[in-house]
Amino acid sequence: MNTSPIESWDAAGAIFSFAGGGGATLFCVLTVVFCIVPLFFTLKTENHHENMTK
């Protein structure tokens, strides 16, 4: 996969993968998802232990 935003180091600015393209936005969205989804698993674990210790 070619993710490079540059073809030469001369006068290069943003050099991160997907810079200036849609890929960056996609990984922003995925970052949000991968922050939120683990919270649901954590909540599930908590509820499980709440019920188990009753």
CB 23 within 8 A of CB 38: no
- C-beta of 1 vs 54, nearer to other proteins: 54
Q: Does 30 bind other proteins (CB under 8 A)?
A: no
Minimum Å gap between C-beta 1 and other proteins is 17
- The least distance separating other proteins from the CB of residue 2, rounded to whole angstroms, comes to 17
Nearest to 28 by CA among 42, 12, 17, 39: 17
Distance between CA 17 and CA 25 in Å, rounded? 12
CB of 52 to other proteins, least distance (A): 8
